[in-house]
Amino acid sequence: MTMRVRLALPKRTRPAPSTRPALLRRQRGAAIISALLVVTLSALLVAGVLWRQQVQIRRIQNQRLLAQAQWVARGAVDWTRLILRSEADTAPTVTYLGGIWAVPIAKTRLSDFLGKTGAADAAEGAQTYLSGSIEDAQAKFNLRNLVSIPAPGALQINQQETAAFARLLALLGLNGGLAKTAALHVRASLMQSATRFQVPLGNRLGNRLGSAGEPAQPSAQPQAGDTVGGDNFTDKPGLADQDNENIDAEPLQFTSVDSLLNVPGFTPDIVARLRPFVTILPTQTPVNMNTAPAEVVAAIVPGMSLSSAQSLVSRRESVYFLNAAQVQLALQGTGALPPGTDISQIPMDVTTSYFLVHGRVQHERAEVDRTTLIYRDPLTHTTRVVRVRDQL
C-alpha cells in the first residue's frame, strides 16, 4: 500500500485593501527624507568648498596687502636715510635734539607725502598711513662697551664700562652686581662673532673742536688696542675668568635689550626698566652728551649725582654742546669733574653714528611696525641699514 503525504504551503498574504494607502504614504515619506538628507549633505559639502575657497582668497589678499605695506615701510626707511645724510651735511660735527631728524611724524596719509599726482594715485594712497620717529641709539648705554678688544680676536672686560653699568643699575633701583654677570655673558657671546676681529674706534670727542671757534683737528687713525674708555681691562684675557664656569659654552649673540633675559638675575621687569636707558650696538660707541638722558650721563661720569646730571640736561635744552671743551666746562660747573680731569677717558661724544628708526605703516587691513638700526658714516655721511625687526 502506498501512502501519499501532501505538504501544505503557506498562503501568500497580501495587505488588506484598507492598509495600502498608509504603507505607500510611509514609503513616500522615507524617500522624501532621504532626498532631503542628500540635498543637505550636498549643500554642506558645497558650502565647505566655497568657504575654503573664500579663506584662500582672503589669505592671498592679506599677503598682497602685507607685501605692499612692507614695501611702503622700506621706502620710508630710505627716506629717513636721506634725512640723516642731509642733516649730517649741514651739521657734520654735532648731533642734537633740535635737528630735523628728531622731529617725529604723526599719523599721515601716504597721499599727503606723494602730493596730488592724479586721482588714481591719490585713491591708492588714501587707505595707507605712515607714522614714526628717529631715536639716537648712542643716547643710551651700549652693552657692547662692556667688552673691549685690545687686539683683533682678544676679548677683555672693560672695568670702567662695567662700573658705569653698575652705577646705572643702582640709579634705577636695581642690583648693581648684575653688571659683571652681564659683562661675562656679553664677552662669551662675542667669542663666536666675526666682530671680535674688528679694530674698535677710539674716543673721537677729544679730536673734535678744541674750543669754540677753533678749527677741527684731524682725528688720529685708530691703532690696534684703541678702545673707548682707555685701557681698563681685566688681567685675564679671553674667557679665563673663573666666573665663566657657570656660563654656557656658546651663549646666544646679543642682538637687543631682550637678550638680557638669557642672563641669570635679569627678569622681564628689570629689562623693561632698563629699556629706555640701555641698548646693544654692533661696535663700541661713546654716549652722545647732547641727547643722553640724565640717568645715563650720571652713570658714565664717575662721581656725578643724578641731580647734577639733571641740571646738565636742563642747561643742554637751551644751548647744546659743540665740542669737548664745552662739555668739560659744563661738567666742571656742576661739580662733577675736578679741575685737571682728563675728559678723554670718559666715553662720550657730541655726535652720533647709530640711529633707531621706528616706523608704523597701516595699509588697509595690514599693519607693519618696523624698527631699523641705521649706521651713518661720520666721514662720508653715507648710511646703511644694520638690522631690521618687524612686528606684524
pLDDT tens digits, one per residue of 130-182: 999 999 999 999 999 999 888 776 788 999 999 999 999 999 999 999 999 99
Start-end of H helices in 207-305: 268-274, 294-300
Cell numbers at residue 391, please? 612686528
Average pLDDT over residues 219-238: 39
Q: Which pLDDT band, with edges at 50, 70 and 90, does 208 fall under?
A: very low
Over 80: is that where the pLDDT of 4 sits? Answer: no
Cell numbers at residue 351, please? 655726535
Over 80: is that where the pLDDT of 108 sits? Answer: yes
Lowest mean pLDDT among 43-47, 49-53, 174-178, 228-232: 228-232
Which has more pLDDT, 115 or 60?
A: 60
Task: Give the per-residue pLDDT at 118.
Answer: 53
Lowest mean pLDDT among 124-138, 168-182, 197-211, 375-389: 197-211
What is the DSSP pairing of strand 348-349 with strand 287-288?
A: parallel
Q: Which pLDDT band, with edges at 50, 70 and 90, does 229 fall under?
A: very low
Task: Give the per-residue pLDDT at 382.
Answer: 92
pLDDT tens, residue by residue, 6-39: 555 555 555 555 556 666 666 677 778 888 888 8
Average pLDDT over residues 245-261: 74
Task: Give the per-residue pLDDT at 191.
Answer: 79
Q: Which pLDDT band, with edges at 50, 70 and 90, does 241 fall under?
A: low
Q: What is the C-alpha separation between 322 and 301, in angstroms, rounded?
A: 19
Q: How far is CA 64 from CA 56, 67, 120, 159, 363, in A?
A: 12, 5, 19, 51, 10
Alpha-carbon torsion, ordered 269, 272, 273, 278, to 10 deg: 140
Lowest mean pLDDT among 58-62, 135-139, 339-343, 356-360: 339-343
Q: Which residue do the cell numbers 656660563 mark? A: 247
Q: How far apart are the two ends of the chain, measured CA to CA in Å?
A: 107
Which has more pLDDT, 3 or 136?
A: 136
Average pLDDT over residues 317-326: 86
HSE, side-chain direction, 13 A CA sphere, residue 360:
10
Over 70: is that where the pLDDT of 375 sits? Answer: yes
CA 224 to chain CA centroid, nearest Å: 31
Task: Give the per-residue pLDDT at 180.
Answer: 93
- What are the strands, taking DSSP E only, across 95-215? 105-109, 128-136, 141-142, 147-148, 156-157
Which has more pLDDT, 193 or 45?
A: 45
CB–CB of 127/363 below 8 Å? yes
Q: What is the C-alpha separation between 338 and 330, in angstroms, rounded?
A: 12
* pTM, full prediction: 0.75
Over 70: is that where the pLDDT of 348 sits? Answer: yes
In sequence order, the β-bridge partners of residue 233 are 158
CB–CB of 306/298 below 8 Å? yes
Task: Give the per-residue pLDDT at 279.
Answer: 94
CB–CB of 295/172 below 8 Å? yes
Q: What is the C-alpha separation between 241 and 155, in angstroms, rounded?
A: 12
Cell numbers at residue 76, please? 620710508
Q: What is the DSSP letter of 168?
A: H
Q: Which pLDDT band, with edges at 50, 70 and 90, does 248 fall under?
A: low
Over 50: is that where the pLDDT of 316 sits? Answer: yes
pLDDT tens, residue by residue, 82-107: 999 998 888 778 999 988 899 998 88
DSSP string of 290-333? TT--HHHHHHHSTT--HHHHHHHHHHHHHS---SHHHHHHHHHH
Average pLDDT over residues 288-310: 91
